[in-house]
Homo-oligomer: A and B are copies of this chain.
Amino acid sequence: MINFEYSQPTNIIFGKGTHKQIGMKVAEYAKNILIVYGSERIKKDGLLGEIEQSLKDAGVEYTLLGGVKPNPRLSLVYKGIDICREKNIELVLAVGGGSPIDSAKAIAVGAKYSGDVWDLYLEKDSFEQALPVATILTIAAAGSEASTGSVITNDETGYKRAYNSECVIPVFSILNPELTCSVPKYQTVCGAADIMMHDIERYFTNVQDVDITDRLCEAVLLSVMENAPKAIEAPGDYELRANIMWAGTIAHNNLLSTGRIGDWSSHGMGHEIGAMFDVAHGATLSIMCPAWMKYVYKHDIARFKKFAVRVMGANEEGYTDEEIALQGIENLKKFFASLGLPVSLGEVGVGAESIEKMAEKCTLLGNIGNFVSLDKNDIEKIYNLAL
């Protein structure tokens, strides 16, 4: 186990009806806020109205900025930064899933930074001050509600990049699983894949003797794999949604990273698909992870065997370690497919002709992956395995 620091400062307010506390909670930090959200669905279904009423009751002024799209765009971030400066915004509240939250984080840091916020995503400069961010989560997936990360796509250049800093960890996040009961099936399963991949990216590590976090990773995976298929059958079931939603936060609040170094190359490869083709983030991961696993499993067959046996229900009897490891990979792919997720590039209309360009963009800043370091040539081979 390697040395680490850990805290989870975000105050999580979890449960039925909790979004109605928003005015009171925001008022502890600010009297003038920007609300960042995605689709207009939150207007139609009454959620935005409830939020606005709660803020008014608490004497909080607000400005609305809607229209955040999946794979959230830099252009909208710039718009938000301008509003923050013009209106002296004191806190940025995201309502939605990972895209509004990641946009809110970019806006919060950009509002304090005198240069171009995109330079921070390109790692051309470092800066760690931001307006406070808060969230009302409406989809279980990204884990951004209690994480240091924000991923933004530059809609001019097509590059998708991440910024990580303690300064953008939300001060509080309201998680009401009721709000996720109306999430459509495909978004629900993409969310489940995203949660599982935040976990799997951490699971595959070269750090030895990390039994406690191995076990915790396995626990979260087993729980999501238990609850997600049931939630498809019974989308309005609060308890199933609650278990998935809390798993989504735990998978990405860095507890599962403590003492170990994750891989993150499936995310890197997935981001390039998302940036060029606007495929849902979770779907890019269900495509890339099994291909990545097939390419790298020989690097540590014992770990892949552990994953296969403890999580993926592999059959040990009469099989070699390598065969058991391969069963685990195949079972994961089958599980994703059983949820209705794509497991090949072809299923989302991405052909061989795009591979070189994606591999090039993916390795713009150098090799990716910590479990196995991958160069452009490796990445091309993995995309080919995913065809």
Interface residues of A, Cβ cutoff 8 Å to B: 1-18, 208-216, 218-220, 222-223, 226-227, 239-240, 242-243, 246-247, 250, 255, 258-259
- Copies assembled: 2
Whether B3 contacts A212 by the Cβ 8 Å rule is no
Q: Chain B residues near A259: list those with CB within 8 A.
A: 14-15, 242, 246
Q: Chain B residues near A209: list those with CB within 8 A.
A: 239-240, 242-243
Q: Chain B residues near A3: list those with CB within 8 A.
A: 14-18
Q: Closest 8 interchain pairs by CB?
A: A3-B15, A209-B239, A215-B219, A219-B219, A8-B8, A1-B242, A212-B223, A6-B12
Q: Chain B residues near A5: list those with CB within 8 A.
A: 11-14
Q: Chain B residues near A211: list those with CB within 8 A.
A: 223, 226-227, 243
**Interface pairs (19), CB distance under 8 Å:** A1-B15, A1-B243, A2-B15, A3-B18, A5-B11, A7-B9, A14-B259, A208-B239, A211-B226, A212-B223, A212-B246, A214-B223, A215-B219, A215-B220, A216-B220, A216-B250, A219-B219, A242-B259, A246-B258
Docked CA distance A135–B62 (Å):
42
Whether B212 contacts A243 by the Cβ 8 Å rule is yes
Docked CA distance A5–B14 (Å):
6
Q: Chain B residues near A243: list those with CB within 8 A.
A: 1, 209-212
Chain B nearest Cβ from A176, distance in angstroms: 9
Q: Chain B residues near A1: list those with CB within 8 A.
A: 15, 239, 242-243, 246
Docked CA distance A219–B210 (Å):
12
Whether A7 contacts B4 by the Cβ 8 Å rule is no
Chain B nearest Cβ from A209, distance in angstroms: 4
**Which among A220, A226, A246, A259 has the highest number of chain B CB atoms within 10 Å?**
A246
